[in-house]
Structure formats: C-alpha cells, structure tokens
Amino acid sequence: MRTATHLVVAALVATFALALPAPRAAADVVPPDKAEEKATPETFDSPTGGKVTLDLKHLERRTLLVFAANFCPICRRETPNFLKLAHDKKGELDVVGVVMDSERDAAKAYVDKQKLDYPTIWDPEWRFAMRFKVKSTPTLVLLAKDGTVELVAPGLTPELEKKL
C-alpha cells in the first residue's frame, strides 16, 4: 500500500512539474524602470445602467475610491460624509464610488437612496476591489494622479482626512 501511495505522489509531482512554464532567460527580463506600461482606459458598468470610464494610470486629480454596499449599514450611515467630502473637495479631488452588491437592484437602490452624484462603478464580483486588496466595506482608497495608492482606510479616518 505504501508503494502505491508513493507512486501516486510521484506521478502528481511529475505532472505538476510538466505544467510549469519554462524558466525565462535573464535577457528576457525587463527591469520595471525600463518597461513601457501602456495603460488604457477601462469601462465599467454603473449600478444605474450607464457606463463609467477610468484611466487609473493618468488621472486628472487625486482620486478617492469609495468601496461601499447597500448591505453594509456602516456604508449607508457614512455615505453622507463621503458626499460632503466630494462636494467640499470638488475640483481638487475626484471621488468615484464602487458599489459591491452582487445584485444590480440592490446596487442601484444604494445609489438612489444615498443620492450619489459622483461616478459609481458596479463591482458585483469584487474583481476591481481585489486590485486594491479590499476585503470589507466601507474601504476608501486614495490614489495619486499616476494611479499609485497613497492610503487605504476603513472609512474617513483622521489619517485619511489629514492626507486630503
């Protein structure tokens, strides 16, 4: 029995090793500072049925991504503060909402009830959120004009407010 187990393990290891890509030659590796990263704008669905286009590598201003959801009571309570911030910082900071509800009706209800007037992306599978390692709502991600992350916060924290 022990020999059969060893053979199965050996076969699995061999299969896995065959599935690995061939190692790259040192000449194929391009240092990050030499690589030309060609970012293109991305278009996302909005919870209200429209589209939102973002070019995260070439932002006009610093941008605050507000990850929230209708299912999140803290989000619903804090959204008026996010709206006030968007209005107070208009022209110097862009705010983009990212609604995480899996159902479009719930996401749309959040946008409508909260009267969100900033662009809002619908991210039902949290794919966009995973780029920023968002694990819960609300999460706020402050981006520099070049799209790099300046700060991630679980809401309007004193640290985030100081950065703004």
CATH number for the domain spanning 113: value is 3.40.30.10
Provide the sign of the torsion angle of the four alpha carbons 3, 9, 13, 15, taken in this order.
Answer: positive
Give the ranges where 2-103 is alpha helix by DSSP (H): 2-19, 73-88
Partner residues linked to 63 by β-bridges: 94, 143
**Number of domains within the chain:** 1
- Evaluate whether 136 touches 154 at the Cβ level (below 8 Å): yes
Strands of 139-143's sheet in order across:
120-122, 93-99, 62-68, 139-143, 149-153
> Distances from the Cα of 159 to the Cαs of 9, 88, 95, in angstroms?
51, 18, 17
Q: Read off the pLDDT of residues 141-158 as tens digits, 9 standing for 90 and up.
A: 999 999 999 999 999 999
- Determine the pLDDT at residue 39: 57
Whether residue 104 is contained in a domain is answered as yes
Whether residue 4 is contained in a domain is answered as no
For the CA atoms of 145, 110, 77, 139, what is the dihedral angle to 10 degrees?
-40
Whether residue 20 is contained in a domain is answered as no
Length of the chain: 164
Whether residue 34 is contained in a domain is answered as no
Residue 137, CB half-sphere, CA atoms under 13 Å: how many?
A: 24
Q: Read off the pLDDT of residues 1-21 as tens digits, 9 standing for 90 and up.
A: 544 444 333 443 343 343 434
Alpha-carbon gap, residue 97 to 120, rounded angstroms? 4
Whether residue 6 is contained in a domain is answered as no
Q: Read off the pLDDT of residues 20-61 as tens digits, 9 standing for 90 and up.
A: 343 333 333 434 444 344 457 899 999 999 999 999 888 999
Alpha-carbon gap, residue 79 to 63, rounded angstroms? 17
Whether residue 5 is contained in a domain is answered as no
Q: Read off the pLDDT of residues 118-146 as tens digits, 9 standing for 90 and up.
A: 999 999 999 999 999 999 999 999 999 99
Give the range of the structural domain holding residue 158, as residue numbers without chain letter. 42-163
Whether residue 72 is contained in a domain is answered as yes
- Evaluate whether 74 touches 97 at the Cβ level (below 8 Å): no
Whether residue 24 is contained in a domain is answered as no
